[in-house]
Amino acid sequence: MASGISAAGWNLRTYLLLARMWIRVSMTYRASFVTLTVGQFFITGLDFIGIAILFSNVDALAGFSFSEVAFLYGGSALCLGLADLVLGNIEKLGTRIRMGTFDAMLVRPVSVFVQMCADEFALRRLGRIAQAAGVFVWSVVALDIDWTASRVAMVPYLVGTGTVIFLALFTIGAAVQFWTAESSELSNAFTYGGSTLAQFPLSIYPREAVKALTFVVPLGFVNWYPSLYILDRPDPFGFPAVLQFAGAIAAALLSLLAAVVWRRGTRHYQSTGS
Amino acid sequence: MVCRRRLSFRRYSTYRAATLAGIFTNCVFGVIICFTYMAVWRQNPTAGGYDVTDALTYVWLGQAMLMTVAMWSGGATDDLAARIRSGDVALDLHRPVSLLGWYLACDLGRACYHLLTRGVAPTIVGSLLFDLRYPQDALTGLVFALSVTLAVTVSFGVRMLVSASAFWLVDDTGVKQLAAVCAFFFSGMTVPLVLFPGWTGEVASLLPWASYLQVPADVWLGKRTGLDLIGALGFQALWTAILLWACSAVLRLANRKVVVQGG
């Protein structure tokens, strides 16, 4: 147990060390860093303007108002942004395997997972996170939420579990590349696709699809179920209210799956030998 | 040049697994957006002058055009930017064929490949899952094909200008990012331009990016008929002419610059 904790501490320290190194690299070109950060802010901002344009044609979407959809959008984009900041470049694993640079990582005395997570750590992603947080805060102000203590507590719970779910999805998507050594587009369908999906009320989907999003690919737990609780809305599908608190279980199970797939992937990996 | 186009087609068709993964991703996004639009049109059945069938068809046309016009940038013009950085472009500028024609041929080959794979496959999946609209007659289909070709040439012109910025900036990452965002938003990929409120829609439909998706989609859906149909093609042809002219002017300027640097 003690050795497990010290190993985790060591991994965290090396992660921060690597991240700091990459931040220093990006700060060498300060103007470029600022432009890219501001750029990210506006790029994801246009997504939200798209939603605003949709709402200039309708006043509600499946019974949800603009500010409620903004709340869902902010939550989903925030979780994706945080996960992307922590290990966004893990999806470049396939490229590294093809280039043969992955072998260099294997001989270093640091966990390969930590190295892949911190690889080219991009602080500019704060731009996207700031935009998502901005929308989130705006929606909270615009909505008239009855802030009980449990609802307040639900906000960090939403951000925490949602981020972990995306972290696990990113990891699984990358680990699959141990077998395919191919592009990251397949995992994009689950990460970016999942975030797009979670931006809108799940009540726009058929009941069976929402069941799948609860029990198969647990994207519903990113923000839909906790948001129902915070916004004080009955589940449109009549699913049990206990699901609104079950995000941690979904996140834990998915992380376990991610760990297993990653471990199997590293075992499976055979260098090209070139 | 025809030969060049065929070679380019073959180059892209080497990566089969990547193509399959891409098709899968197109389909996932297509389904997600379809359900969103179904909710929008349930609330407002005539939004933007479309009915729900038009809207769902538009979604799959968007997925088909995404790679065909290389909305995220990329394509043959990326090679040019890389060759400018490495200096190899000095050779290209002195080949006995036109640089612009050479890259256009490459890009048309790429577009052909992407249309036949990333364009057709998701559309088939979409048509199996949802009730879509198809061109009413052979003429509409023919004009649509022409419109798609012009969409590629307009997008090529824009991407070529972006890549040529590397002659002055060396690194075109920032410009490329900006261009991709504009393409995504003003082509009607984020939201159909017909839904843009008031004058914003009118302005957006005059910009070159409208040629990427909104114009071909309206042709396919039969929203533009008679003289209006000719107007649609004329709009795309006009932007093609303006952009290709701008490209050749920029390349002439660049030619002088490269010579000054001594290649």
> Tens digits of per-residue pLDDT, A24-38?
988 887 877 888 888
Q: What counts of helices (H) and strands (E) characterise chain A?
A: 13, 0
Please tell me the predicted confidence (pLDDT) of residue B90: 79
Residues A119-177 pLDDT 10s:
888 888 898 999 999 999 999 999 989 899 999 999 999 999 999 999 999 999 999 88
Give the mean model confidence (pLDDT) for residues B189-199: 94
Above 50 in pLDDT, residue B263?
Answer: no
Instruction: For residue A36, list chain B residues with Cβ-Cβ distance below 8 A.
Output: 173-174, 177
Above 80 in pLDDT, residue A260?
Answer: yes
Between chains, do B17 and A204 touch, taking CB under 8 Å as contact?
A: no
Report the C-alpha gap between B165 and B211 in whole angstroms: 22
CB neighbours of residue A245 within 10 Å: 16
Report the C-alpha gap between B260 and A12 in whole angstroms: 52
Between chains, do B21 and A186 touch, taking CB under 8 Å as contact?
A: yes
- Nearest residue to B35 via CA among A223, A211, A197: A197
Lowest mean pLDDT among A171-185, A231-245, B102-116, B136-150: A171-185
- Phi first, then psi, for residue A61 (nearest 5°) are -120, 110
Give the mean model confidence (pLDDT) for residues B68-73: 87
Q: Long-range pairs for A135-139 at CB < 8 Å and ≥24 separation?
A: A135/A48, A135/A70, A135/A73, A135/A74, A135/A77, A136/A70, A136/A71, A136/A74, A136/A75, A136/A77, A136/A78, A137/A74, A138/A70, A138/A74, A139/A67, A139/A68, A139/A70, A139/A71, A139/A73, A139/A74
Above 60 in pLDDT, residue B262?
Answer: no
CB-nearest partner of B25 from A39, A53, A185: A185
Lowest mean pLDDT among A49-53, B9-13, B218-222: B9-13
DSSP state of B1: -
Radius of gyration of chain B from its Cα atoms, rounded to whole angstroms: 19
A40: Cβ–Cβ under 8 A, 6 or more apart, which residues? A124, A125, A127, A128, A131
- Nearest residue to A26 via CA among A40, A12, A47: A40
Burial class (CB in 10 A: 0-12, 13-18, 19+), A206: exposed
Please tell me the predicted confidence (pLDDT) of residue A183: 63
**Rounded to a whole number, what is the distance in Å from the CA of B50 to chain A's nearest CA?**
12
Report the C-alpha gap between A248 and B174 in whole angstroms: 39
Report the C-alpha gap between A220 and B25 in whole angstroms: 19
Using an 8 Å CB-CB cutoff, list residues of chain B that contact chain A: 15, 17-18, 21-22, 24-25, 28-29, 32-33, 35-36, 38-40, 43-44, 47-48, 171, 173-174, 177-178, 181, 184-185, 190-191, 195-197
Buried b (16+ CB within 10 A) or exposed e, A7-28: eeeeeeebbeebbeebeeebee
Give the mean model confidence (pLDDT) for residues A245-250: 95
Residues B128-180 pLDDT 10s:
999 999 998 899 999 999 999 999 999 999 999 998 888 888 777 778 888 88
In this prediction, residue A100 has a pLDDT band, given cuts at 50, 70 and 90, of confident
In this prediction, residue A2 has a pLDDT band, given cuts at 50, 70 and 90, of low
- A11 neighbors A111 (Cβ within 8 angstroms): yes
Please tell me the predicted confidence (pLDDT) of residue B99: 86
Three-class secondary structure of residue A64 per DSSP: strand
Task: Report the amino acid identity of residue B245.
Answer: W
Tell me the CA end-to-end span of chain B in Å, nearest whole number. 26
Please tell me the predicted confidence (pLDDT) of residue B1: 64
Three-class secondary structure of residue A61 per DSSP: strand
Between chains, do A189 and B191 touch, taking CB under 8 Å as contact?
A: no
Between chains, do A57 and B24 touch, taking CB under 8 Å as contact?
A: no
Please tell me the predicted confidence (pLDDT) of residue A155: 95
B28 versus B7: the higher-pLDDT residue is: B28
Percent of chain A predicted with pLDDT > 70: 97
3-state secondary structure string, B172-213?
CHHHHHHHHHHHHHHCCCCCCHHHCCHHHHHHHCCCHHHHCC
Please tell me the predicted confidence (pLDDT) of residue B125: 95
**Rounded to a whole number, what is the distance in Å from the CA of A61 to chain B's nearest CA?**
6
Give the mean model confidence (pLDDT) for residues B74-85: 81
Q: In the Cβ-directed half-sphere of B194, how many Cα atoms lie within 13 Å?
A: 15
Buried b (16+ CB within 10 A) or exposed e, A104-115: ebeeeebbbbbb
- B36 neighbors B131 (Cβ within 8 angstroms): no
Give the mean model confidence (pLDDT) for residues A102-115: 89
Between chains, do B36 and A39 touch, taking CB under 8 Å as contact?
A: no
Using an 8 Å CB-CB cutoff, list residues of chain A that contact chain B: 32, 35-36, 39, 42-43, 46-47, 49-50, 53-54, 56-62, 180, 182-183, 185-186, 188-189, 193, 196-197, 200, 204-205
Give the mean model confidence (pLDDT) for residues A212-222: 93
**Summary mean pLDDT of chain A:** 90
Instruction: For residue A62, list chain B residues with Cβ-Cβ distance below 8 A.
Output: 39
Residue A199 is encoded by which pair of tokens?
């931006």
Residue B182 is encoded by which pair of tokens?
């504009």
CB neighbours of residue B235 within 10 Å: 20
Give the mean model confidence (pLDDT) for residues A68-86: 95
Above 70 in pLDDT, residue A1?
Answer: no
